[in-house]
Amino acid sequence: MFTQVQYGAKEYDEALALRSEVLRAPLGLELGREELDDEKDSFHLVSWRDNAIVACLVLMPQSKKQLKMRQLAVRENCRGEGVGHALVSYAESFALDHSYKEIVLHARETALGFYEKMGYEVEGECFIEVTIPHFFMRKNLLKGEGMQLKTPLGNGH
């Protein structure tokens, strides 16, 4: 199950704890107050299993048509099960439902393959963020819109 949680709510705090555990603690870093204050106008999406948050991400508006995906985190015992892929797919549908046309992100070098498989494209050179290599990536959510996937029988199902 996927839902949006509100900034400052109990569920937001749970997602924040997951983000810290998965993304920052291994680097010896913490999420700063200023960074968190910048999230007030962002969309906070989570994936639930057995009443617990197992994955989360942040969509931060950059313009009327563009969102920046940040802080995708998946609980360690749920990795490799498609939870991250499903949450990103949900985020893309959520973006389109809210009239956004593009998602950009800073991908850790170790996550490039994950995002490339989902249609994100690298732009530019590697850069260092939070002490590790990252790449700027972009996905036009309208690319291929209007194309209908068909089964071998061609019935559109």
Write the CATH number for 20: 3.40.630.30
| 150 in a structural domain | no
| Amino acid at the residue 139 | K
| 83 in a structural domain | yes
Q: Rounded CA gap, 47 and 7, in Å?
A: 16
Q: How confident is the model at residue 31 (pLDDT cuts 50, 70, 90)?
A: confident
Report the mean per-residue pLDDT for the chain: 90
Q: Quote the number of domains for the chain.
A: 1
| 120 in a structural domain | no
| 34 in a structural domain | yes
Q: How confident is the model at residue 144 (pLDDT cuts 50, 70, 90)?
A: low
| 74 in a structural domain | yes
| 22 in a structural domain | yes
pTM, two decimal places: 0.88
Residue 76 structural domain: 2-101
The pLDDT of 104-131, averaged and rounded, is 96
